[in-house]
Structure 1
Amino acid sequence: MTVYMLRCADGSFYVGSTKQEIEARVWEHNNLPVDGYTAKRRPVSLVFTESYERITDAIARERQIKGWSRKKKEALIALSYDALPGLSRRSHLTR
């Protein structure tokens, strides 16, 4: 199972998960006539992936990332894992 993040043409991010090959899933986001978040924000480009053995782990990670701020998502894309704790909403509330 793959958790992925796309950058949309409008600069926003889309977070999803899939069992299929990631290239095929990105192609679907860019080409299928399906109503959804990315349909009106094409083209999209793949900016991040993580793989999981268990579906439950992938779904939990997808939900976690969806709740993150834009800055935190950008740090994840840049693989700046050390910056993530400082960008959490809880961390900002206690400052």
Structure 2
Amino acid sequence: MIHFVYIIESEADGTFYIGVSSDPEKRLERHNLPHKGFTSRKRPWKLVYKEKFCDKSEALKRERFLKGQKSRQFLLSLINGSSAG
């Protein structure tokens, strides 16, 4: 099954959130619905980046790598198409 690593950006304050999903567009809809958790406080969100993987384990590895960067500039470079990561 295809999985994606996705990055969403809060339209409220520019915060990024990185996740994994088989359907990032549908997942974005759920992030924007009322719920408890990190993304509930910073709605609305918009999808700014996604990468496609053939299996979930590879997507999860990439997610961990991206979350480990701790660099807004790194993520901006990735989103804007530079050769980051």
Give yes or no for TM over 0.5. Answer: yes
Q: Which amino acid aligns with 2:46?
A: S
The structure with more helix, counted as a fraction of residues:
1
Larger radius of gyration: 1
Q: Which amino acid aligns with 2:19?
A: G
Task: Give the corresponding residue for 1:41.
Answer: 42
Query: What percent of counterpart residues are identical?
Result: 38
Number of residue-to-residue matches in the alignment = 81
2:18 to 15, 19, 35: 15
| SS in structure 2 of the partner of residue 4 of structure 1 | strand
The list of structure 1 runs, each at least 4 consecutive aligned residues, that deviate by more than 2 angstroms after superposition, is none
TM-score w.r.t. length of structure 1: 0.80
Task: Give the corresponding residue for 2:80.
Answer: 78
Q: Deviation per CA, 1:2-45, whole angstroms, max 9, x where unpaired?
A: 100000121110000012x22111000001x3211110000000
TM-score w.r.t. length of structure 2: 0.89
The one of the two structures with greater contact order (alpha-carbon pairs below 8 A, sep at least 6) is 2
What CA RMSD, in Å, does the superposition of the two structures yield over aligned residues?
1.2
The structure with more strand, counted as a fraction of residues:
2
For structure 1, list consecutive stretches of 5 or more residues without a partner in the other structure.
86-95
| SS in structure 1 of the partner of residue 63 of structure 2 | helix
